[in-house]
Structure 1
Amino acid sequence: MRIEMKGIETLHRVLDKLSDVQQRQVPFATAKALNSLAERIRMGERAVMRQRFDRPTGYTMDSMYIRYASKSKQYAEVKIKDSAYKAAPAANWLNTEIVGGPRRQKRSEKALSIAGLGSYWTPGPGAVMDGFGNVGRGFVVKMLSALKAFGEQGYMANRSKSQRSQRKARNFDIFIGTPNGEAMGVWQRVAMGHGTALKPLMWIQNDAPAYRIRFPFDKIAGNTFNAHAPAEFERALREAMATARP
């Protein structure tokens, strides 16, 4: 989201009344006001994220950054990180919340597709969730490994050769299918009494899950800007004039 002072009628009325000395301070005051507004916008976006998302992670909450304005660059930007080192960038999932529609595949789902086991999955009643309400990463790796979705090399690399690890792998008896006419998913056979029962871990589908708009990023930014831009500019201009050289 790019923010600049163009088109604000109340600001033009202020500018028309400034002296030549005051006019020289306008670029500095504009940059100062834009940066304050950018901070307000980021704070407002984070507040909405806390309200609309279920236990958002620190990684998600810290995904917005500011490109600050200066005297020579009379605009500021509030953006969402679209790159990351050894992790999926937050833009991958936040963009779907911003514009709605089908979401992108996750890394684990791409591995699932490569193995020909499905395209998308969502948690079932037996999924192991982390403290943020997401499917636990270790649980996903364990499922993909058990399903050999990493290929034989990755499958073996994610398992220790110890007897204890091999025993745990045998006990994690899972498969993909539609047992007894149930929905397509990842199912686990679990011991129950003298027999076994089936527990759904993940549901699988080929069509991308569709999302409604929950995080109207541009609207939040626009409302914050319109509400505070005139006051922020006037305050910044007063501060600039107080330190201006005659």
Structure 2
Amino acid sequence: MIRIDVSDNIKEVTKQLDDLARRQVPFATSRAINETAKIVAKEGNAVLASVFDSPLPRTATAVKVFQGATKERLFAVVNVYDGNRGFAADDPRATSAGKGSIFPNRYLSAQIEGGQRANKRFENALIKAQIMPPGMQAVFAKRSGYLDPFGNLPGAKINQILSWFNAFDDGKGKGYRSNMTDKTRTAATMGRKNRRTGDTSFGKGRKYGFAYFVSRGERFGGLGMRLPPGIWERNYPNGPAGKSFIKPVLLFVRPGNYRRRFDFYGLMQRSIEKNLPEQLEKAMAMALRTAR
């Protein structure tokens, strides 16, 4: 979090002004702080867009003005978006802010501070369901063919995987309605037959059946294959009784240590030092022109 604050300097500055100028100082100062905060946030987002490869829109606009200045409160707060609830990146409440995915202040913390990134919600769900071992994280497999232009696995696919492995939990244990039943999983593999036409369907956008399975990195099967640990998808283009092929969807890896890629605090401070004096000068001149 960056706080743009000049309240400690106001008394000293106003001593050197006449009555008219003195009355305009709080207004001009709050205006200058707010304009500076906008510039600081814009420059922070420009850096995000440049240092990350194909960032999501919410990442490229993650730096926001959290709190603006007023005549009574001469400071503004600029920070990485956290669901507009003001929690710090390491606050446990930030992980549960809202129903969507984890907010930028969580997944960018490792890029700003360095160190390990926070687990994503689906990773915590897989660990809780004992699908992924504790201490591991999941990376999206390029070979899956499912990645979007930003290199992410679509949310619908992640939800399907969680549902397949009964990893959704309402806090009351297994059996949550979002989880697949045995009947649903069988239908995904074998298909559903239309009694009227005799056609078999496998769900929206699918021409044949599939199933997910977990590899623990151990050898299995007649060929003694050793698949990397993760969640794999088996596809049945020739039906469940015919030849199938497999591909990785999520791979389990040890968390890596990130180097700091985004000098958030240094950039923000330099931007404040560069822009605030100019904005103060402009705001004071405007205030004096329009003073009554």
Shared fold (TM-score, shorter chain, > 0.5) = yes
- Of 131, 134, 152 in structure 1, the residue corresponding to residue 152 of structure 2 is 134
Q: Are 1:175 and 2:222 matched, yes or no?
A: no
Q: Bigger CA drift: 186-195 or 100-109? A: 186-195
Q: Are 1:5 and 2:22 matched, yes or no?
A: no
Q: C-alpha distance in 2, partners of 1:169/1:176?
A: 23
Percent identity at matched positions? 28
Normalising to structure 1: TM-score of the pair? Answer: 0.83
Q: C-alpha distance in 2, partners of 1:157/1:101?
A: 39
Determine the structure 1 residue equivalent to 2:180: 156
Q: Secondary structure at the match of 1:156?
A: coil
Is the Cα–Cα contact under 8 Å of residues 42 and 63 in structure 2 kept in the other structure? Answer: no
- Of 118, 124, 128 in structure 1, the residue corresponding to residue 141 of structure 2 is 124
Please tell me the residue identity of whatever aligns with 2:127.
S
Q: Secondary structure at the match of 1:148?
A: coil
Deviations 1:181-207 (A, max 9, x none): 3421222334589744432222113x4
Is the Cα–Cα contact under 8 Å of residues 82 and 106 in structure 2 kept in the other structure? Answer: yes
Normalising to structure 2: TM-score of the pair? Answer: 0.71
Superposed counterparts of 1:13-28, under 5 Å: 17-28=16-27
Q: Secondary structure at the match of 2:233?
A: strand
- Please, which runs of 5 or more residues in structure 1 have no aligned partner? none
Determine the structure 2 residue equivalent to 1:234: 281
Give the deviation of 1:45 after TM superposition. Answer: 1.0
Q: C-alpha distance in 2, partners of 1:39/1:213?
A: 24
Change (3 A) 1:49 1:39: same
Is the Cα–Cα contact under 8 Å of residues 117 and 176 in structure 1 kept in the other structure? Answer: yes
Is the Cα–Cα contact under 8 Å of residues 146 and 169 in structure 1 kept in the other structure? Answer: no
Q: C-alpha distance in 2, partners of 1:108/1:170?
A: 26
Please tell me the residue identity of whatever aligns with 1:124.
A
Q: C-alpha distance in 2, partners of 1:55/1:3?
A: 30
Change (3 A) 1:165 1:189: closer
Q: Secondary structure at the match of 1:140?
A: helix
Which has the higher relative contact order, 1 or 2, with Cα contacts under 8 A spaced 6 or more apart?
1
Give the superposed CA RMSD: 3.2
